[in-house]
Structure 1
Amino acid sequence: MSAKLVKGTLERAKPYVAVILLQLGFAITPIVSKSSLNQGMSPHVLPVYRHAVAAAFFAPFAVVFERKVRPNMTISVFLKIMLLALLEPVIDQNLFYTGMECTTATFTAAMTNITPVFAFLMAWSLRLEKVDPRSIRSQAKIIGTLVTVGGAMLMTLVKGPVIGLPWTKATEDSSPIASGRAEEDPVKGGLMIVAGCSCWAAFIILQAITLKSYPAKLSLTVLICLMGSLQGTIVALAMDRLNPAAWSLKLDVKLGAVLYNGIVCSGVAYYIQGIVMPTKGPIFVTAFNPLSMVLVAILGSFTLHEVMYLGMAIGALLIVTGLYLVLWGKGKDVPPETFPVEQVKGQVSQKRDVVDQLDF
């Protein structure tokens, strides 16, 4: 195998490796977040600390590595950054953590698989996604969307019998408070998580658009996290009614959740998304969510002793099935970010050839 072929294979594999590592990082998030919420962490304060840590951690890297390539800030870019900060660091994260309080880490991770469907529907409504009802692949997109929504509804509304696992037997036999089910409300929590996923999908699409006019990925990550932390502070002060105790941190799982979520799931995640989306598109970034769900289900049952219900398992299976129907339907689509560029390059090359022939 030639060196050129190996290099090309590695280049094509980079986006896949990046998003798989991203999902591995996401898999830890529900576990540490649920543990911190169980210890009394405010679901409104956690996003503030999370994005403040991300901004502080990545700001030096942005200053050093992007000082020569950072474009000038315009009013249009600033407004997009403010909207990005509102969509994901504020609205999505507040809904995500509040919904998680009412459910489990596994349930939350499974419900986030609906995000690619929201991204597809938004792209379709904005005419960024082409759908031909006569095409088999377009039919797969539509059917996959309906199956995914049906799986989310099943997970939210139907529990069914408990799936007995040896390591969760003690939790199943314990009291509701000990098992963490006293305050569970899957309908309320599910609706919050679904609403948060819609904001997440909108964030991913808007981030892809913003990167075209502001391609400094590290700087954009820092600005989103900084603005998100400032906006989130206003929400947290209003929701927690100026309660100083909600802002206290010690050397425990709450501090660990803040540091991990901030550095990995905000800073690193936004940066990797910024690298992958210009070539693979926003839907590709969310295509690997089921990997995170499987890891969370395993880790959640071991570390948090979460109980798995049959309705949850069937709903999660439907969500994954519907998701990959949508992705199969998109399999032959030409990435909108790359096709026009290649087309223009070809036209420019042809014009240069004509000019060269006329230049005598």
Structure 2
Amino acid sequence: MKGGSMEKLKPILAIISLQFGYAGMYIITMVSFKHGMDHWVLATYRHVVATVVMAPFALIFERKIRPKITLPIFWRLLALGILEPLMDQNLYYIGLKNTSASYTSAFTNALPAVTFILALIFRLETVNFRKVHSVAKVVGTVITVGGAMIMTLYKGPAIEIVKAAHNSFHGGSSSTPTGQHWVLGTIAIMGSISTWAAFFILQSYTLKVYPAELSLVTLICGIGTILNAIASLIMVRDPSAWKIGMDSGTLAAVYSGVVCSGIAYYIQSIVIKQRGPVFTTSFSPMCMIITAFLGALVLAEKIHLGSIIGAVFIVLGLYSVVWGKSKDEVNPLDEKIVAKNQELPITNVVKQTNGHDVSGAPTNGVVTST
């Protein structure tokens, strides 16, 4: 019993630790930006690290199952590299620089709803208004979008979560710059969420023709490195921005590359195989809570009332979508079991012919069945 309980706890502990990993990325990345790290350069270095980390695993564990890269697969890989490493990461960094770590973390909870909308457009999801769980997905999406709009349009008064920590570590000063462009940051975060959702949709199609997950991630990160390097050479004119040292910028690149593009992928793949994507997604609001407290402790961030109200709506909408989606999903193994149970039992009735069965053996007038 004890071993069985631990097996059930492992996915939960793994996915919770992943939320701490993402929360740490929000904080470390924000610190690096405050020390002058350029987001184009950070995205480039991050995917260099991710490629170097993932490549050995892909080469060792998938050398026998790795499909050949055809031209259609290459175009999909290129599109995936544009959507996630280039567009999503840089839009996310722009949003993070212009808002706050807690705000960005809260807003990204709208990802499941945006993914659901795109899935409807590409006919990966269906809606039947005669079923409660199907209506729940639509209502949850509307609530989530409403929460995002509240966060965008209403800022509200600032609320200090850990006032004592502010005074102790930061002398009571807030890390929120007076010239922040919250509208620009919010638009960038929306763009980041949209491209991230599109990435998931395209990835689901790509995995059907290229089912080597580790190799796929390595190739995406490699393509992302090249694309970000080209974009950085165009957008960043200061050569000193590329300088690597023992500072927060290097820490952010290594941490996000290893933890959020390497270990995170491994944990997600294992948990999804064991418990499914709905289980994995349902823990995402934890990251928002962890980031809010870490932001208050480390960055002296203040959370605004509008962010709290909007986040509550986003979480409620998220769980409505997740609940509805969970009712849609049927485990293939369960389908086989149900189908097997519904099969009529086969009864072999041995016919009698003058006291003998069809094989000619005497039956003593008894009809046998198995």
Say whether the fold is shared (TM-score over 0.5): yes
Q: Which amino acid aligns with 1:303?
A: V
Measured in 1, the distance between the counterparts of 2:31 and 2:137 equals 37
TM, length-normalised to structure 1? 0.85
Residue 304 (structure 1) aligned with residue 282 (structure 2): no
Residue 111 and residue 345 in structure 1: after superposition, are their counterparts in 2 closer, same or farther (change >3 A)? Answer: same
TM, length-normalised to structure 2? 0.83
Q: Encode CA deviations 1:252-307: one digit per residue, 9 max, x unaligned.
A: 11110000000111122334444455676656543321011111001110000001
Contact 1:120 1:129 in 2 (8 A): yes
Q: Encode CA deviations 1:60-115: one digit per residue, 9 max, x unaligned.
A: 22212222222222222222211111111110000000111101100010011010
Residue 48 (structure 1) aligned with residue 75 (structure 2): no
Q: Which amino acid aligns with 1:315?
A: G
Q: Which amino acid aligns with 1:262?
A: G
Residue 38 and residue 346 in structure 1: after superposition, are their counterparts in 2 closer, same or farther (change >3 A)? Answer: same
Measured in 1, the distance between the counterparts of 2:182 and 2:141 equals 21
Q: Which amino acid aligns with 2:253?
A: V
Contact 2:107 2:148 in 1 (8 A): yes
- 2:260 aligns with 265
Alignment of 1:112-151 (within 5 A): 112-151=108-147
Kindly tell me the number of residue pairs found equivalent between the two proteins: 341
Measured in 1, the distance between the counterparts of 2:235 and 2:124 equals 37
- 2:199 aligns with 203
Residue 102 of structure 1, aligned match among 98, 101, 105: 98
Residue 327 of structure 1, aligned match among 318, 322, 326: 322
Residue 345 and residue 244 in structure 1: after superposition, are their counterparts in 2 closer, same or farther (change >3 A)? Answer: farther
Residue 284 and residue 137 in structure 1: after superposition, are their counterparts in 2 closer, same or farther (change >3 A)? Answer: same
Q: Which amino acid aligns with 1:139?
A: V
Q: Secondary structure at the match of 2:221?
A: helix
Root-mean-square deviation (Å): 2.9
Alignment of 1:88-237 (within 5 A): 88-165=84-161, 166-167=163-164, 170=167, 174=173, 179-237=175-233
Point out where structure 2 has 5 or more consecutive residues left out of the alignment.
347-370
Residue 74 and residue 139 in structure 1: after superposition, are their counterparts in 2 closer, same or farther (change >3 A)? Answer: same
Point out where structure 1 has 5 or more consecutive residues left out of the alignment.
354-360
Alignment of 1:4-23 (within 5 A): 6=4, 10=7, 15-23=11-19
| Cα distance, 1:243 vs structure 2 | 2.2
Residue 142 and residue 127 in structure 1: after superposition, are their counterparts in 2 closer, same or farther (change >3 A)? Answer: same
Contact 1:48 1:229 in 2 (8 A): yes
- 1:318 aligns with 313
| Cα distance, 1:206 vs structure 2 | 2.1
Q: Which amino acid aligns with 2:303?
A: M
Q: Encode CA deviations 1:9-58: one digit per residue, 9 max, x unaligned.
A: 83x66654543332221111100000001100011111110011110122
Residue 2 and residue 229 in structure 1: after superposition, are their counterparts in 2 closer, same or farther (change >3 A)? Answer: closer
Q: Which amino acid aligns with 2:223?
A: M
* Percent of pairs with identical residues: 44
Q: Secondary structure at the match of 2:48?
A: helix
Q: Encode CA deviations 1:194-215: one digit per residue, 9 max, x unaligned.
A: 1101111111222232222222
Measured in 2, the distance between the counterparts of 1:128 and 1:14 equals 30
- 1:357 aligns with none
Contact 2:58 2:214 in 1 (8 A): yes
| Cα distance, 1:342 vs structure 2 | 5.3
Mark the structure with the bigger radius of gyration. Answer: 2
Measured in 2, the distance between the counterparts of 1:159 and 1:200 equals 25
Q: Encode CA deviations 1:174-226: one digit per residue, 9 max, x unaligned.
A: 4xxx6332232221101100110111111122223222222222211111110
